[in-house]
Homo-oligomer: A and B are copies of this chain.
Amino acid sequence: MTVIAAGLDRSRCSVAGTLGVVGEKWSLLVIREAFLGVRRFADFQANLGAPKAVLSDRLGTLVEQGILRRVPYQAEGARQRHEYRLTDKGRDLYPTLVALMKWGDRYLSEDGIAPLELQHADCGAPVELELVCEAGHRLAGPREVRPVSRAAAAG
């Protein structure tokens, strides 16, 4: 039995790091809304139902982290305000959200119907998330993956 875990340094694990940034309860939901086109404070609040204080804090953190940026805008006949938009760094969280969504679609939807389908804008076919290696092979699951520690020369 291979206990891969032994030689690995998880003090600076990327999973833990990422969760430290976006792992709080509302963060990924805020980002989901952002992907759906939401930009304004009140809309985030209405769609998520999060308390204003928490939402304000999360938006601030996400801006600090460079995942969202504040952009000034001016609605007609209103004073200038600012909205929140995804940066490239934020946009790169898309696969994470898709992965969460796909899992929920499979295991949580009662009637087996996914609430939201993702279609390829060009051809209309459903979008999937796949594990592939650089040699082009498609991987079926974790069993076909070998984790290799980089930092320490372990095992």
Contacts and interface: CB of A to CB of B under 8 A. Distances in A.
Interface residues of A, number: 86
Contacts of A151: 113, 115
B100 A19 contact: yes
A53 interface: no
Contacts of A127: 131-134, 139, 145
Interface in A103-155: 103-109, 113-135, 137, 139, 141-151
A35 to B, nearest CB: 6
B144 A122 contact: yes
Contacts of A122: 137, 144
Contacts of A126: 133-134
Contacts of A94: 131, 141-142
B91 A14 contact: no
Contacts of A36: 4-5, 8, 147
B148 A119 contact: yes
A15 interface: yes
B14 A28 contact: no
Interface of A: 1-5, 8-10, 12-19, 21, 23, 25, 28-29, 32-33, 35-38, 43, 47-48, 89, 91-109, 113-135, 137, 139, 141-151
